[in-house]
Structure 1
Amino acid sequence: MSQPHLFDLLELRNIKALIFDLDGVITQTARVHANAWKRMFDAYLLQRGQREDKVYEPLSIATDYRRYIDGIPRYDGVRNFLASRGITLPEGTPEDAPGKETVAGLGNLKNTYFQELLQEGGVDVYPDTVAFAGEMRRRGLRTAVISASKNCQSILAAAGLEKLFEVRVDGIVSAELGLKGKPAPDIFLEAVRRLQVKPEQAAVFEDALAGVEAGKAGGFALVVGLDRTSEANELKEHGADVVLQKIPSHTMKNTPQNQVRKKDGITLPSALNQIEALLQGKTPAVFLDYDGCLTPIVKDPDKAILSDSMRHTLRQLAEVCPVAVVSGRDRANVEKLVQLDNLYYAGSHGFDISGPDNMHTEPGGAAAAIPALDKAQTELNERLHQVQGALVERKRYAIAVHYRNVADDQVDDVLKVAQDVLSKYKELKPGPGKKILELKPNLDWHKGKAVHWLLEELELNKPGIIPMYIGDDLTDEDAFAALQGQGISILVGEHDEETAADFRLESVDEVQEFLAALTKYLKK
């Protein structure tokens, strides 16, 4: 199985079939296609320009290919790109010789170049998709592959993937049936028809903007955008429900509660002066909560400002090992507070993650809960605005009802209101914290799973790497539990319940002292 949030969504939406685009999702032939298009168009534009004594701008793979060509039928791609250069050609017929000055002739020449490049370089696949599709087949879900290319079958055969998909709807089938190309949903609808399921029982996996548009237009239960080219925002804007940079190939399971060892936090041994023993010769991947760990807990969350000295400590640590801040705050908010571009940031308890090299993804699938959060926020504001000290803090994927500054005799009233509002929305669930009650998306996703996701995404699941999580809150207990037996968990201060952590640090000052010592040790 793949990412747990994805599996949860497949179950929650009663998904029975999965439809995968070929290029960019299953196989890595988009580069080959793009080079074939560029070779064909650049030569044609140069020749035409010389004939007309005019200069035509060559095809840009970074912009033109994605905008006018990627994911749509070949002849449509010819027509779209030529229109961008103010050129109109006769349609011709599919039998036109490659290179004839017609839409079909240029499209046929592109296909000739593609076949040549394919023979030269072979076919690479995306192992994450292949592993996921195979696991889903074993779990009983049906699978189909779609493609605008007429070369789909030969590409699958070259990659050894023909048996992975029960149904294939490609450029040949589209031509036979007169199916419209993306962003029309025809090719996806034909796939589910052949799989004998309804669109509302199927999920679409696409990397092209036109593809996610088509999936949304077809009324599919789930449209997953695969961000292979740093276009996460564009994929969302065009209709993707979830955007992933890749589909992890191993299951991240919750640790059963009856297997989690817990103890009184006060009895835990200190992590100070034990760095060599903790690391056991391995390099740490360090995960840190923000409030109560990097900064002291304060009455006003907006005043939890990171000190310059702590920022300096984090910067130096991130130079010698991976460092991520995992917070209940919005990702953009904690990123702004920390102000370091060599760290990873997991906000909203891991629903929103960013990092160096323009990394940004939202792996928890929480976007579907936003309408419920909006309505709950409105009602909470209306019902609690007169309670002195009560604070309704809206985050992108959560609402925190703070009662730290509420009079003791009114705390129960605040909690009753929050729980009453929560009971109205099946999309939401409660989340505990220090003097807060959170309303969170009702999905099996938390800080522990975010840590596992980052470990896999950053390829840190290696024998020489040991994950280390430092936090102070009840929400950090999920991470402590997730790392039992495979990492180091450190509780800062104490909270009102037993903890799954292994070690303890007394305060934010001790956290900084520990991190500085860790950096010094690693630099040796």
Structure 2
Amino acid sequence: MIKTKRLRALIFDLDGVITQTARVHAKAWKTMFDAYLEERARRDGKPHAPLNISTDYRQYIDGMPRYDGVRNFLASREITLPEGAPADEPGIETVAGLGNLKNVYFQELLQQDGVEVYFDTVAFIREMRAEGMRTAVISASKNCKAILAAAGLEELFEVRVDGVVAAELGIKGKPSPDIFLEAAKRLQVSPQETAIFEDALAGVEAGKAGGLGLVVGIDRTNQATELQRHGADMVLQKFPTLNTTMKNIAANTVQKHDGNTLPSALNKVQELLQGKKPAVFLDYDGCLSPIVKDPDKAVLSDQMRTTLQRVAELCPVAVVSGRDRANVEQLVKLDNLYYAGSHGFDISGPNNMHTEPGGAAAAIPALDKAQVELNERLRGIEGALVERKRYAIAVHYRNVPEEQVNQVIEVAQDVIAKHDELKPGPGKKIMELKPNLDWHKGKAVHWLMEELDLNKPDIIPLYIGDDLTDEDAFAALQGQGIGILVGEHDEETAATYRLESVDEVQVFLEALIQELK
């Protein structure tokens, strides 16, 4: 449609289209308004319903300038306040004072949680720029420049028209089309030669009112019908990619954190789900069962098994493990779960599902030869364990004397170097030999999401893992789901929340059950 309409420029809204800061904004608005309404109810003796993110935020606040959002929401609760001035102290009982307090909360959350981007949008923008399209970003937020800088995306846009520019020029907020028309003007194109990409109802309404050449609704929250009703010419759940692979884009934009600084996922189930239905993916060792010296003794407790079964009765659940699929399936012993063994090379599930999507069978002869050599060369080292799996070999050195650990690692690396079909896979106190293929836990999760028809805007994937091998899944789900790190490892993590232990995993899953019920 871009080519058919001979469009020359593309304008992208920031929150909800390029970045996931809409969620951070919504959380800041709710924190501010709920506290204010509670205090006002005590003072006036008249209760007010707290802000509902799935309804109130979308209807009264999303896409609006900050003070308009304050005014609109308060009107829905039959509250009128003095306007105040932009210099009002945060928290003063004026429209400006409450809006300024919301911004304080937003800045704190931004520092705490960082900026998450939608990889599909970034890939699409890069491809369109490579084809000569001009690009601009718009936002009602005055934090737009800081958010783009934090995400490393400033170079993608020739023009930025945000809350700062709007205030300087006196531009009206959405549903007025002024912000889009100003961006087109600065790109030196006519509105009819311009496409806009918007997730907010007020945004598509503004695009239609301004006569833009193509108004595309981006449906991240299962509201396609509403977007069309407000003026979208077409609605996308995600952007198509043409030439650039998602892997290359993700490699440049995955956000990493110090695991010790991540916020706890406990008591935050409702916040994480955002009103969506979860699809739950979990590693086995260190998440469902504590790490033990002997892998054969990593037994699932009856309580955890019962919890898993109850979760699986309410939403899809998959165990994604480096163990053999048959081994982890035997340990869990539940028929209503999906199992991805050998880091996703071997997958099974209900209704007789069984597939090996990664193409690892070709590496079996090399694994057989490597197993023989490893057993021979490590036989004399106390505590060294060579664990053969169908599509991998795990060389364990957890029980090896400290002075001999490097020797075990060097032997494993030497054996890997002899076989082009194999590559190393680091883990907690292990060195794995894996098929040298572009496949890992993250790809397995995406495969399951596609196969089980879970790539929908009303479904959010949650991945819970503790190991370095789980980082592929955390990275793969950034921009689409939630990664939860259990405990800690020695590297920065792409997860965004954490749990301390297997016990906390069970507490989290029980809370998930209650929320789903």
Is the aligned partner of 1:445 residue 2:469? no
- 2:484 corresponds to 1:490: yes
The one-letter code matched in structure 2 to 1:356 is: P
Which of 370, 380, 383 lines up with 1:389 in the alignment? 383
Give the 3 Å change call, closer, same or farther, for CA 397–250 of structure 1 in structure 2.
farther
C-alpha deviations, 1:389-409, integer Å up to 9, x for none?
000000000000000000010
Distance in 1 separating the partners of 2:411 and 2:315: 44
The partner residue of 2:271 within 267, 277, 284 is 277
| Inter-partner Cα distance in structure 1 for 2:315 and 2:400 | 41
Aligned to 2:119: none
1:371 aligns with 2:365: yes
Distance in 1 between the 2:246 and 2:385 partners?
A: 34
Pair 1:472 & 2:466 matched:
yes
Partners in 1 of 2:506 and 2:269 — Cα distance? 14
Please give the per-residue CA displacement for 1:198-245, whole angstroms capped at 9, x wherever unaligned: xxxxxxxxxxxxxxxxxxxxxxxxxxxxxxxxxxxxxxxxxxxxxxxx
Which residue in 1 is equivalent to 2:286?
Answer: 292
Partner SS, residue 438 of structure 1: strand
> Does the alignment pair 1:309 with 2:299?
no
SS at match of 1:517: helix
Shift in Å, 1:477:
0.2
How far apart in 2 are the matches of 1:258 and 1:345?
30
Gaps of 5+ in 2: 1-239
Which of 408, 411, 422 is residue 414 of structure 1 equivalent to? Answer: 408
What is the deviation of 1:258? 2.8
Q: Is 2:235 the counterpart of 1:260?
A: no
Aligned counterpart, 2:392: 398
Q: Report the equivalent of 2:429.
A: 435
Map 1:455-470 onto structure 2 (within 5 A).
Answer: 455-470=449-464
Report the number of matched residues: 275
Moved over 2 A (4+): 249-258
User: Alignment partner of 1:346: what SS?
Assistant: strand
Which amino acid counterpart does residue 388 of structure 2 have in structure 1? R
Report how far residue 259 of structure 1 moved: 1.2
RMSD, aligned CA: 1.3
Task: Tell me how far apart the structure 1 counterparts of residues 329 and 515 of structure 2 sit (CA, whole Å).
Answer: 27
Q: Equivalents in 2 of 1:250, 1:273: separation in Å? A: 37
TM-score normalized by the length of structure 1: 0.52
One-letter amino acid of the structure 2 residue matched with residue 396 of structure 1: R
Partner of 1:520: 514
- Code of the residue aligned with 2:252 in structure 1: it is N
Task: Tell me the amino acid that sits aligned with residue 355 of structure 2.
Answer: T
* SS, match of residue 367 in structure 1: helix
Output the amino acid matched with 2:342: S
493 and 337 in structure 1: CA distance in 2 versus 1, 3 angstrom threshold: same
Quick one: which amino acid aligns to residue 488 of structure 1?
Answer: I
Q: Distance in 1 between matches of 2:442 and 2:308?
A: 21
Q: In structure 1, give the amino acid aligned to 2:279.
A: A
- Deviations along 1:300-327, whole A, 9 cap, x unmatched? 0000000000000000000000000000
- Name the SS for the 2:400 alignment partner: coil
Output the CA distance in 1 between the equivalents of 2:382 and 2:320. Answer: 30
1:509 and 2:516 matched: no
Distance 1:455 1:258 in 2: 23
Query: Residue 7 of structure 2 corresponds to which residue in structure 1?
Result: none
What residue ranges of structure 1 are gaps of 5+ in the alignment? 1-248
Aligned counterparts of 2:431 and 2:505: Cα–Cα separation in 1: 26
User: How many Å apart are 1:420 and its aligned residue?
Assistant: 0.6
TM-score by length of 2: 0.52
| Corresponding residue of 1:161 | none
Cα separation, partners in 2 of 1:286 and 1:250, compared to 1, 3 Å: farther
Task: Give the secondary structure class of the aligned counterpart of 1:256.
Answer: helix
Q: Which residue of 2 aligns with 1:362?
A: 356
Query: What is the CA–CA distance in structure 2 between the aligned matches of 1:430 and 1:396, rounded to whole Å?
Result: 16
Partner of 1:318: 312
1:423 paired residue number? 417
Partner residue, 1:16: none
Q: Identical aligned pairs, as a percentage?
A: 79
1:314-341 deviation line (CA, Å, top 9, x unaligned): 0000000000000000000000000000
The 5 Å alignment of 1:71-86 reads none
1:392 and 1:364 mapped to 2: Cα distance?
23
The residue aligned with 1:347 is: 341
What's the offset of the Cα at 1:260? 1.1
Match of 1:232? none
Q: Deviations over 1:224-279 (max 9, x none)?
A: xxxxxxxxxxxxxxxxxxxxxxxxx9998425333111111000000011111110
- Map of 2:475 onto structure 1: 481
Spell out the pairing of 1:216-255 with structure 2 (5 A cutoff).
253-254=246-247
Higher deviation after alignment, 249-258 or 366-375: 249-258
Post-superposition CA distance 1:83-142 (Å, at most 9, x none)? xxxxxxxxxxxxxxxxxxxxxxxxxxxxxxxxxxxxxxxxxxxxxxxxxxxxxxxxxxxx
Deviations 1:274-303 (A, max 9, x none): 111110110000000000000000000000
SS of match in other structure, 2:271: helix
The aligned amino acid for 1:311 is R
